[in-house]
């Protein structure tokens, strides 16, 4: 209970979101070594960026942020950061979130013109009483805290969008979404101390309706960490992942004793049960548990994730439910 003075103080200065959660020191008997997994082949570069920090003894939180930043800066990536595809009106709006072993989390949605949404998400997590900022408010926050700005779409991406707009003129009048590409990066890391963190960053569905948010910035859908169990991230059609609170579902299945791969598989099966039309509906999950075991599963073939450990730097094709 708050005293009168405490109550007034809490109104004047709201607690930080992370003052509310269990805090360090962190104790665990984990001795499986640091490990990082990230979605898709661009995950390898991201893992390498994160790994540098893990090697220096930095936390899994810093590693996943560094990995996500690597992909956000990749001008050749059409689904994350500066190289991302725009919405149907030509605006590149970015979504990202981050979560640590203490259940601290931060998120931004529909953020335009900022180079590293994942770092804005982390800043929100560490410096405000909130979890999520979107749109103009998120932009204002990022500018206020001097986050690097970028000009999007890149000229070549703009050209592609203009071409698409011409070809799709008839469709573009209707509020329909068609998906051209989606390849978010989701990252999970466990550090030497056994602390698990995750991050997720994307430009979302190419040519989406303005204002659309997918699963990626939504804690529980695109990403979820619970240090009692492990963590999971998702990629694929965000609308379907949100419908089953995908990443949270994976973590809860692991809580019931399922391996990361089995938990991802059962989550994919649940997603399939909830959708009549699965044509082209690719979704995938990757997961890690507190023992450092990892796994993934996708709806269709063709999904892979990158794994980095002290001795390994590999791409792993996940098992899947069906073939294209």
Query: Which one of residues 70, 235, 247, 304 is an interface residue with ligand ASP (CB under 6 A)?
Result: 235
Does 236 interact with ligand ASP (rule: CB under 6 A)?
A: yes
**Shortest Å, Cβ 179 to ligand ASP:** 8
Name 109's Cβ contacts closer than 8 Å, sequence gap at least 6.
93, 95, 132, 133, 134, 135, 138, 213, 217
Nearer to ligand ASP, 218 or 307 (CB): 218
Judged on CB neighbours under 10 Å (0-12, 13-18, 19+), 184 is buried
Does 260 interact with ligand ASP (rule: CB under 6 A)?
A: no
CB contact at 8 A, 320 and 303 = yes
Question: Nearest Cα to 70, choosing from 115, 13, 17?
Answer: 115
Residues contacting ligand ASP: total by CB under 6 A: 14
- Strand 294-300, strand 320-322: pairing: parallel
3-state helix, strand, coil in the chain (%, to 5): 35, 25, 45
Nearer to ligand ASP, 104 or 221 (CB): 221
**Shortest Å, Cβ 33 to ligand ASP:** 28
- Give the length of the chain: 324
Tell me the DSSP string of 242-308.
HHTTHHHHHHHHHHTT--HHHHHHHHHHHHHHT-S--TT--EEEEEEETT--EEEEEEETT-EEEEE
**Shortest Å, Cβ 113 to ligand ASP:** 18
Per-residue x/- track, 212-231, ligand ASP (CB under 6 A): --xxx---------------
**Shortest Å, Cβ 238 to ligand ASP:** 2
Task: State the Rg of the chain over Cα.
Answer: 19
Helix (H, G, I), strand (E, B) or coil at 71: helix
Catalytic residue among 184, 267, 290, 309: 184
Give the footprint of ligand ASP on residues 65-124 (CB under 6 A): 79
**Shortest Å, Cβ 93 to ligand ASP:** 10
At 29, list the tokens. Answer: 């008997």
Q: Please compute, for residue 183, the number of CA atoms within 13 A of its CA located in the half-sphere on the CB side.
A: 21
At 232, list the tokens. Answer: 């999971």
Nearer to ligand ASP, 83 or 238 (CB): 238
Nearer to ligand ASP, 65 or 183 (CB): 183
Give the footprint of ligand ASP on residues 147-206 (CB under 6 A): 182-184, 202, 204-205
Name 42's Cβ contacts closer than 8 Å, sequence gap at least 6.
71, 74, 77, 80, 183, 185
**Shortest Å, Cβ 203 to ligand ASP:** 8
Question: Nearest Cα to 107, choosing from 122, 93, 127?
Answer: 122
Nearer to ligand ASP, 100 or 215 (CB): 215
Nearer to ligand ASP, 87 or 215 (CB): 215
Task: Clarify whether 39 is annotated catalytic.
Answer: no
Does 297 interact with ligand ASP (rule: CB under 6 A)?
A: no
Please list the active-site residues: 184
Interface residues toward ligand ASP, by CB under 6 A: 79, 182-184, 202, 204-205, 214-216, 235-238
């Amino acid at each position: 209970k708050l005293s009168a003075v405490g109550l007034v103080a809490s109104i004047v200065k709201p607690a930080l979101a992370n003052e509310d959660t269990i805090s360090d020191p962190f104790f665990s008997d984990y001795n499986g070594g640091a490990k990082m997994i990230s979605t898709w082949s661009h995950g390898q570069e991201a893992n390498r960026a994160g790994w540098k920090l893990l090697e220096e003894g930095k936390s899994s939180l810093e590693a996943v942020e560094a990995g996500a930043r690597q992909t956000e800066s990749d001008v050749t990536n059409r689904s994350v950061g500066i190289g991302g595809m725009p919405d149907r009106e030509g605006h590149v709006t970015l979504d990202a979130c981050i979560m640590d072993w203490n259940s601290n989390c931060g998120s931004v949605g529909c953020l335009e013109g900022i180079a590293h949404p994942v770092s804005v998400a982390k800043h929100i997590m560490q410096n405000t009483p909130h979890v999520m900022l979107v749109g103009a408010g998120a932009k204002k926050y990022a500018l206020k805290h001097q986050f690097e700005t970028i000009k999007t779409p890149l000229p070549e991406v703009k050209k592609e969008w203009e071409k698409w707009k011409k070809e799709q003129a008839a469709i573009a009048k209707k509020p329909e979404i068609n998906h051209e590409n989606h390849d978010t990066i989701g990252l999970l890391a466990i550090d030497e101390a056994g602390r698990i963190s995750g991050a997720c960053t994307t430009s979302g569905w190419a040519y989406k309706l303005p204002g659309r948010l997918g699963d990626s910035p939504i804690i529980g859908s695109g990403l979820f960490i619970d240090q009692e169990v492990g963590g999971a991230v998702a990629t694929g059609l965000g609308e379907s992942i949100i419908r089953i609170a995908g990443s949270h579902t994976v973590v809860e299945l692991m809580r019931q004793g399922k391996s990361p791969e089995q938990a991802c598989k059962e989550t994919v099966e649940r997603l399939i049960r909830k959708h009549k039309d699965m044509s082209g509906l690719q979704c995938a999950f990757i997961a890690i548990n507190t023992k450092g075991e990892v796994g993934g599963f996708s709806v269709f073939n063709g999904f892979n994730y990158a794994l980095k450990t002290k001795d390994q730097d590999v791409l792993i094709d996940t098992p899947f439910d069906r073939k294209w």
